[in-house]
Amino acid sequence: MGMTITEKILADHAGKKEVYPGELITAKIDLAMANDVTAPLAIKTLEKYGIDRIFDPDKVALVLSHFVPAKDIKSAEQAKMVREFAKKHKIKWFFPEGEGIEHTILPEQGIVVPGDLVIGADSHTCTYGGIGAFATGVGSTDLAYALATGEIWLKVPHSMKFIFYGKLKPWVTGKDLILYTIGQIGVDGALYKAMEFEGEAIKELSIEQRLTIANMAIEAGGKNGIIAPDEKTIEYVSARAKKPWKIYQSDPDAQYLEVYEWDAGKIEPLVAWPYLPSNVHPVSESTHITIDQAFIGSCTNGRIEDLRIAAKVLKGKKVHPYVRCIVIPASKNVYQQALREGLIDIFIEAGCVVSVSTCGPCLGGHMGILAEGERCISTSNRNFPGRMGHPKSEVYLANPAVVAASAVLGRIAHPEEVVSLKELEVST
């Protein structure tokens, strides 16, 4: 019997010829990652058990991304602890304030490559599956074990396949495909499953949009999301990779728990209403909803392509006078590229607030917190109660074009209400 791409990666890292869904394995990791929120607990765990060494400082990434630049004393202390740990252990991949969000930095800089087994003390570590790596989130104590041993124990997940065929409509992106998937199967529809995406619509997506899809696999309960590498992946990785990589593909006779097949050409831009990413509605059914804030950024949609899409909508327009629009590039490199392309000027002239690269308001901790009763439309990945501030605030999830159009009109809007297809063709 054949194996899926996920099973093949796990088998190789476990030193086994094959693995089966449900099997418990111990696997060697290629990279362990943590941020300023999750690393301190792992560090304290190592100290508690008197462990004064890590398995390989070249295979650890520590990123200050969530509450930085430090918003208060507690945040400053956490960041300080991570800095000192990185310095003490000579961590190769340490990224201080302003470098950006781990899930953008690591693929962008070629630190994660196809075929890797990556664990991270952050639920959206699954992002790296967009380039054909097995990547999954773990708790901080599990991370501490991995830092000490270079290994992690896992249960091999069953795999589910999601096939998108057809051609995408204008303004429809990878964000809409993953929202559609979550809307169809629910937030626990892929609980501890490997979510494998394929089909002609997936192949047409850029690597950045594939990373967006993998990023939100966890919002359906997935253990990991993954897209098999192709020519686009190889081109993307070849220009960045800091180490060798290995391409894995699923066997034709690989077994899947479930297979879904959808016509991507029938999907319009989507909006996930509160309070679940599965509460998905077409944007055409959402235009009556007024907003107070629009957020363009996060590890889901803060890459350069996302900023370009938003800028196409905002160019020559003004943010609605009663809306605040926050734009946060997901990495320093993205920020610099946006500066070179004039995108930052477009945002500022439109009336947006542009911030240093950080997670920002996504997790409700920093720069853009919502007050009671306020509504935000966001390119981020999660809209649970209190996710972005007050428990009685509301977060709506959408792609960057929808968020930008909504910022202009002061309500949830289709991009075509702000920019005609003719204008789009001219700007492109």
249 Cβ partners below 8 Å, 6+ apart?
5, 228, 229
Q: Return the pLDDT at 277.
A: 96
Check residue 1 and give its pLDDT.
Answer: 79
**Three-state secondary structure of 27-53:** EECCEEEEECCCHHHHHHHHHHCCCCC
- Give whole-number Cα distances, 190 to 22, 222, 318, 353, in Å: 14, 5, 41, 37
Residues of the chain with CATH 3.30.499.10: 5-262, 271-427
**Neighbour tally for 246: CB within 10 Å:** 14
Burial zone of 268 (CB within 10 Å; 0-12 exposed, 13-18 middle, 19+ buried):
middle
Any idea what DSSP says for residue 205?
Answer: S
Both tokens of 375, joined, read 């509504």
What is the topology classification, in CATH, of domain 5-262?
Answer: Aconitase; domain 3 (3.30.499)
Give the pLDDT of residue 364: 86
Nearest to 271 by CA among 293, 286, 261: 286
* Structure tokens belonging to residue 412: 């949830």
pLDDT tens for the chain, residues 1 to 428: 799 999 999 999 999 999 999 999 999 999 999 999 999 999 999 999 999 999 999 999 999 999 999 989 999 999 999 999 999 999 999 999 999 999 999 999 999 999 999 999 999 999 999 999 999 999 999 999 999 999 999 999 999 999 999 999 999 999 999 999 999 999 999 999 999 999 999 999 999 999 999 999 999 999 999 999 999 999 999 999 999 999 999 999 999 999 999 999 999 999 999 999 999 999 999 999 999 999 999 999 999 999 999 999 999 999 999 999 999 999 999 999 999 999 999 999 999 999 999 998 988 888 899 999 999 999 999 999 999 999 999 999 999 999 999 999 999 999 999 997 566 655 55
The CATH number assigned to the domain with range 271-427 reads 3.30.499.10
Question: What are 144-201's pLDDT values in tens digits?
Answer: 999 999 999 999 999 999 999 999 999 999 999 999 999 999 999 999 999 999 999 9
- How far apart (Å, rounded) are the C-alpha atoms in residues 7 and 4? 5
